[in-house]
Amino acid sequence: MEPLSEEQSDQLVAIVTDLARQGRTDELLEFFDHGLPVDVQDHEGNTALMLAAYHGHTGTVRALIGRGADVDLRNARDQSPVAGALFKGEEAIVGALVDAGADLDAGTPSARATAEMFGRTALLG
């Protein structure tokens, strides 16, 4: 089987990131089950975990964590998944990421700083 062209790879990543944004967990996981790295990043450095967390898809986040997604992998703007979830007030997702060992001090702004900025320090437990 031939390797994918850059254009094909970009299209594949676009499909995966769209599925993550939409919380279409079963379809998303099929790509990873067929060999796509779970931490594949788009041109902005976003992973499926980052996008699912930001868009409030708890089940998708938990499934990606279960598949070994890096909970601390930051995007090109140095944002972490847990900071994005805090920004959006996604309590269950913050909890899942913290339970999976997310670093609350990583990124800019860090999750702790984000929680303070938006009055959501209670979400940090």
For 83-125, write each residue's pLDDT tens digit.
999 999 999 999 999 999 999 999 999 999 999 998 998 888 7
Domain ranges of the chain: 6-124
C-alpha distances out from residue 84 to 5, 26, 29, 114, Å: 31, 23, 22, 8
Report the CATH number of the 6-124 domain: 1.25.40.20
Residue 67 has what DSSP assignment?
T
Using CA atoms, how far apart are residues 59 and 76, in angstroms rounded to an integer?
Answer: 25
* The pLDDT of residue 28: 98
Using CA atoms, how far apart are residues 84 and 46, in angstroms rounded to an integer?
Answer: 11
Q: Indicate if the pLDDT at residue 4 is higher than 90.
A: no
The mean per-residue pLDDT over the stretch 30-50 comes to 96
Instruction: Evaluate the omega torsion of the peptide bond into residue 37 and state whether it is cis, within 30 degrees of 0.
Output: no
For 12-33, write each residue's pLDDT tens digit.
999 999 999 999 999 999 999 9
Contact 38, 64 (CB under 8 A): yes
Among 119, 8, 10, 16, residue whose Cα is nearest residue 69: 16
